[in-house]
Structure 1
Amino acid sequence: MIQTPSQTVTLEEFLKLPETKPASEYIDGKIIQKPMPKTRHSRLQGKLIDTINQVTEAARIAYAFPELRCTFGGRSLVPDIAVLRWENIEVDENGEPLDDVLIPPNWTIEILSPEQSSNRVTGNILHCLKYGCELGWLLDPDDRSILIFQPEKQPELRQGKDELIILEGIPLNLTVEQIFAWLKMRE
């Protein structure tokens, strides 16, 4: 993550700034730009979004959004994947989703990039949980592990054939091994 100079801005000032690519987040008065996703990150993000939405969208259970800005609790975060329960997706008079999401995702998923601070990303997941998020995942492609966060519970490290905890109500069974197997694109 790239941090801007130490001048602090308010959340309201930050939200008026133009979006950056890659996205910037507002954390504790500072603007921090996320690193540009690389191939493994993008592959895992795309496969997870597709897998989740295949079982949730038609049944109107939830929807997984890539890089969705969520502003709540004094921060403005952009999780790699933000899963919102269907009933939490606010829509306009045309039934289209509102652009501004002012609640935490129900399930936040972050994929660690080599140049990212694991503590900063973990801090974002913990912030989401503090404000009502039900589940957080932190994927580490380098050591093929997933750290699972739930409110008021110790984080759990899952590896190999370990089954993953999925957001309640989503009929999906995944193991750590299955997720990281998506990285293999040739035999």
Structure 2
Amino acid sequence: MTAITAQPLTLEEFLKLPETKPSSEYINGEITLKPMPKGRHSRLQGKLCTTINQIAEEPQIAYAFPELRCSFGGRSIVPDVAVFLWEHIQFTADGQVPDNFDLPPDWTIEILSPEQKPNKVIGNILHCLKHGSRLGWFIDPDDLSILVFLPGQQPELLQAEDDLPVLPETQMLLTVNQVFNWLKMGS
């Protein structure tokens, strides 16, 4: 992530700025650019959203959004995958998805890119948990591990055939190896 602010802005001022590509985040008064997703990151992000939504969208349990801006608790962040329980999505009067999400995702997923600082990414997960998220995943494609965060508990490093915790409402069964096997497209 690259810092791009010369002088501090308020969250309200930041939210009035035009969106950037790649996305920018507002953390502790500073604006930073997220790195542009590369192949492995993009593949994992797409498969996670697809897998979660295949199970949870039609029965209106939850929805996984890629790169969704979430502004709450004095920050505006863009998790790689933000999963919201259906009942927490504040649909418009005509039933459409809202543009603004001013609450933490129920489940936040971050995929580490080579240019990112792990502690900054983990800091966003911890911020989500502090403000009401129920689950956080920190995926490291180089290490083939997933660090799992649950409120009030120590993080747990999962690898290989370890079962991954998910939102219980989704009733998904996934292991760490299943997630990383999505990277093998040509075999």
Give TM-score scaled by structure 1 length: 0.99
Quote the residue 1:157 is aligned against.
157
Q: Which moved more, 1:104-113 or 1:2-11?
A: 2-11
Does the residue aligned with 1:169 lie in a helix, a strand or coil? helix
Quote the residue 1:143 is aligned against.
143
Shift of 1:43: 0.2
Shift of 1:5: 3.6
Q: Distance in 2 between the 1:131 and 1:79 partners? A: 14
Q: Write out per-residue CA displacement over residues 29-70 of structure 1, whole angstroms, 9 at most, x where no aligned residue.
A: 000110000010000000010000000001110000000000
One-letter identity of the residue aligned with 1:32: T
Give TM-score scaled by structure 2 length: 0.99
Does the residue aligned with 1:9 lie in a helix, a strand or coil? coil
Quote the residue 2:37 is aligned against.
37
Quote the residue 2:112 is aligned against.
112
Quote the residue 1:68 is aligned against.
68
Q: Distance in 1 between the 2:86 and 2:116 partners? A: 31
Shift of 1:6: 4.2
One-letter identity of the residue aligned with 2:94: N
Q: Distance in 2 between the 1:3 and 1:144 partners? A: 28
Quote the residue 1:17 is aligned against.
17
Does the residue aligned with 1:93 lie in a helix, a strand or coil? coil
Structure 1 runs (4+) greater than 2 angstroms displaced: none
Quote the residue 1:77 is aligned against.
77
One-letter identity of the residue aligned with 1:102: D
Report % sequence identity: 63
One-letter identity of the residue aligned with 1:36: M
Aligned residues: 187
Structure 2 spans left out of the alignment, 5+ residues: none
Shift of 1:19: 0.2
Q: Distance in 2 between the 1:5 and 1:169 partners? A: 40
RMSD: 0.7
Q: Distance in 2 between the 1:106 and 1:81 partners? A: 11
